[in-house]
Structure 1
Amino acid sequence: MEKFFVNLATLIRLLCYGPLIIIEQRPNYGFIVPLYLKLLNGSRVFMDIDDWTLDYLTLKPLIRFEVRHLLSFFGTYCDTCIVSSRRLQKRLSRHFKKTHLLPTYVDHHRFTPAKTKKSDGTVVFSWIGTIFQDFTRDNVLFLIEAFAGACDLLDKFEGIRLDIVGGGDYFTAVEEQVKNRFSDYPIKMTPWLDPEKMPAYLQSIDVGLYCLLEPSLFQESKSPTKIFEYYACARPVISTSLGEAKYFVKTDKTGILADSLDAYTNAIVRLFKDPEMRVSMGREGLSMVERKWNMDTACADLKQIVMAPMKKKGKV
């Protein structure tokens, strides 16, 4: 009942402004307001979906109904749908007349390369993120095993370190695994880092790690924002190829794609041993961010998507 009155108050308030351009962040019960505005005064509605989280229940506990079952309804009344990955574009294009691909790029004015060289000689490999489900835990444990294997191949633990920076419900479980199985390896677990400190932290590492293992609609739909953040700080990336990463990580140019445990281990060894390669890959990744994979480009693309229909009608 509370949601009903909040939506009603919102509708009455927004009607005072006349026709609007509305960007709806993911389909849910709140779509009722944009829908009525479209029907009442011709407001234009854009659906923005940046990952697949559409299997949750709505109308519970009265009716067991998943949001994804309403996609055709949303598609009927939305002017277009903006998605962050090719997997989403393929999945949602059957419901929406127009689906525009707009990856979640990086703010390259905020994430920038370090101005001075590192004084510490340790080569730091880093994964950042939220360990919020069992498959995320498995992704991180894969990275840890690959790192431990690299240390064994190098036969040295000095001068190398793995950072796991994040949080989530499964962070403690990963931390326990590190204590019980990998206590002899230089692995540092940081449970949370202030977002304001993240750019400076990424400037302090040497290689960014990204990993998606199990094929699923959720994992394949993720836009690899972390990869863009690594690149913006001129850091190379080691990544698996599942999902969007393969479109942005170019082996031997901006990083290394590695899908098996042995391949990932060897990639860590290779980048640890070759500082010049780390630098050249980081520079190439930074160049790509400065040219295209940044928030300025995303804003320009979004503006073009939103304004294009108006231009055709002669309203701009």
Structure 2
Amino acid sequence: MGNASRIHDNARHLAADDEWEVTVLAPPPTFPFGSFERSWERSRTYERDGMTVHRLWAWQPTTEDPGLASRLLYYVLFPLHALLWLTINYRSFDVIFLSSPPVFVGIAGLPFALLDRKPLVVDVRDLWIDSAIELDFIEEGGLFERFSRAYERVLLEAADRITVTTALLGSRLAATYGIDEEKIHHIPNGVDVDRYTPTETETEGTKTIVYTGNVGHAQDLESCIRAVGRLERSDVVFRIVGDGDRAPALKRLVAEEGLEDVVEFEGLVPREAVPGYIEDAEVGLAPIKSDEALEYAVPTKTFEYLACKVPVVATGSGEIESVIESSGGGVVVDNDPDAIATVLDRYLDDPQRRERLGERGRRHIEAHYDRAATARRLGTVLEDACGGGSGTSSPRGRPATTEAE
């Protein structure tokens, strides 16, 4: 999924830098829920890409769309286990880097920040509480929301630095919690441009529309499926690469619309296989639901499509519009099947247009969103949190990166 690839790439680039030794704490492979067998190992340690990875036991939901109790067990037990590990191995790291959501991952590092024992950098990828309310997972104004808001306020106030994936996200955090904007740093999402590279392929016959990533509640795949059904052509296939809570409902929709021969569910695939699916496509879809709470969001798949010279058709508003417009590599349309179908038809029938958009998108990604560059920016933030300051030399650091998948 997008966050896992982002955390992995940034940590890998940090580990390749002589300044850093990286230890990653993560739960057993769990998400999408129901896709993995439950593990009862207390911990599993291995080396990967220059990093030391500790898989710490946590509750693992085994159904595709688990209830709130099962989700909370997963969200809370992992950070408690990570807190225990960090307490035992207190002297082996210099800075703690937490990636949220879920917001409760902060449990692992909050005591160290409150006691001023270790610098804490909190990475906020989205407005998890706002999104949960918009998607009707939790009740607005209810006890759970009030508790979560109070906890997140304490966590963000205690953090030495906060990183965010979009400028709008940082502004909203500052406005919601009264945080000093000087400690908020914009580290954009992006893509490993060496891994996601375009290939010169000539396609004949069937044309492919691709979606890669989480099949969740924030993605408007329903409108995309209906849009594909309204294309008056027999030479197209819509390939959904990934899995998530909404997959069963989407499969039912495909059956209801009679699109079993047009929409293909690839399920989970190895991460190294994802670029191949994108390169084989004529168009990439990045659909976000049209909710105010999601205006900060720019899916990782957007950068991956652009890097592979695949034009992007996106939905949603806010940051996604800014990225697509500045890249020149696609278009944002309304969350309406007819509007999506019109643009898909236009792109599929115009290879010259696709080539122009692809070239612009690739150049934009190389200039602004290469993960090697964003990892260097993250390294500067971590060094600053450790007291090294920007542009100064510091002892070889040991960040402990903690994330829930």
User: Which TM-score tier does this pair reach, normalised by the shorter chain?
Assistant: 0.7 to 0.9
- Residue 302 of structure 1, CA deviation: 1.3
Match of 1:106 among 187, 191, 195: 191
1:310 aligned partner: 388
Q: Is 1:126 aligned to 2:204, yes or no?
A: no
Q: Residue by residue, what CA displacement relative to the aligned partner does 1:127-169 show, whole Å, maximum 9, x if unpaired?
A: 1222233x53xx11101222222x23xxx313x2222222223
Structure 1 residues without counterparts, runs of 5 or longer: 58-62
Q: Is 1:141 aligned to 2:222, yes or no?
A: yes
Moved more, 230-239 or 248-257: 248-257
Question: CA 1:184 to 1:110, structure 2 compared with 1: closer, same or farther past 3 Å?
Answer: closer
1:311 match: secondary structure: coil
Q: Residue by residue, what CA displacement relative to the aligned partner does 1:66-120 show, whole Å, maximum 9, x if unpaired?
A: 3222233123321121111234212211433221222221111111111x41344
Preserved CA contact (<8 Å) 1:246 1:257: yes
- Residue 184 of structure 1, CA deviation: 7.8
CA distance in 1, matches of 2:263, 2:80: 50
1:157 aligned partner: 234
CA distance in 2, matches of 1:231, 1:193: 20
- Residue 275 of structure 1, CA deviation: 0.3
Match of 2:96 among 17, 22, 47: 22
CA distance in 2, matches of 1:213, 1:184: 24
1:60 aligned partner: none
- Residue 242 of structure 1, CA deviation: 1.8
Q: Residue by residue, what CA displacement relative to the aligned partner does 1:11-47 show, whole Å, maximum 9, x if unpaired?
A: 2421x347x2221223755645534444656532111
What letter is aligned with 1:132? G
2:338 match: secondary structure: helix
Structure 1 vs Structure 2 CA RMSD: 3.1
2:369 match: secondary structure: coil
Structure 2 residues without counterparts, runs of 5 or longer: 1-76, 138-142, 395-405
1:50 aligned partner: 125
1:127 match: secondary structure: strand
Preserved CA contact (<8 Å) 2:83 2:109: no
What letter is aligned with 2:246? Y
What letter is aligned with 2:264? K
- Residue 281 of structure 1, CA deviation: 0.5
CA distance in 2, matches of 1:252, 1:304: 26
1:279 aligned partner: 355
Map 1:256-267 to 2 at 5 A. Answer: 256-259=331-334, 260-267=336-343
2:198 match: secondary structure: coil
Q: Is 1:188 aligned to 2:269, yes or no?
A: no
Map 1:183-262 to 2 at 5 A. Answer: 183=259, 186-217=262-293, 219-250=294-325, 253-259=328-334, 260-262=336-338
For the pair shown, the structure with the greater C-alpha radius of gyration is 1
Q: Residue by residue, what CA displacement relative to the aligned partner does 1:215-271 show, whole Å, maximum 9, x if unpaired?
A: 042x33433210000011111101124242112112993112211433322211110
Moved more, 43-52 or 71-80: 71-80
CA distance in 1, matches of 2:158, 2:299: 29
Q: Residue by residue, what CA displacement relative to the aligned partner does 1:168-214 show, whole Å, maximum 9, x if unpaired?
A: 23212211221221338633232332222111111111110111123
Match of 1:269 among 341, 345, 349: 345
Preserved CA contact (<8 Å) 2:291 2:316: no
Match of 2:174 among 84, 87, 93: 93
In the superposition, the TM-score normalised over structure 2's length comes to: 0.65
CA distance in 1, matches of 2:347, 2:221: 19
Greater than 6 Å deviation, 4+ residue runs: 2-6, 312-315
1:76 match: secondary structure: helix
What letter is aligned with 1:143? C
CA distance in 2, matches of 1:202, 1:103: 21
CA distance in 2, matches of 1:147, 1:295: 33
What letter is aligned with 1:11? T
Moved more, 280-289 or 5-14: 5-14
Question: CA 1:277 to 1:251, structure 2 compared with 1: closer, same or farther past 3 Å?
Answer: farther
1:72 aligned partner: 153
Q: Is 1:34 aligned to 2:34, yes or no?
A: no
CA distance in 1, matches of 2:241, 2:390: 48
1:169 aligned partner: 245
Q: Which has the higher contact order (CA 8 A, sep 6+)?
A: 2
Q: Residue by residue, what CA displacement relative to the aligned partner does 1:49-68 show, whole Å, maximum 9, x if unpaired?
A: 112224789xxxxx856322
Question: CA 1:30 to 1:212, structure 2 compared with 1: closer, same or farther past 3 Å?
Answer: closer
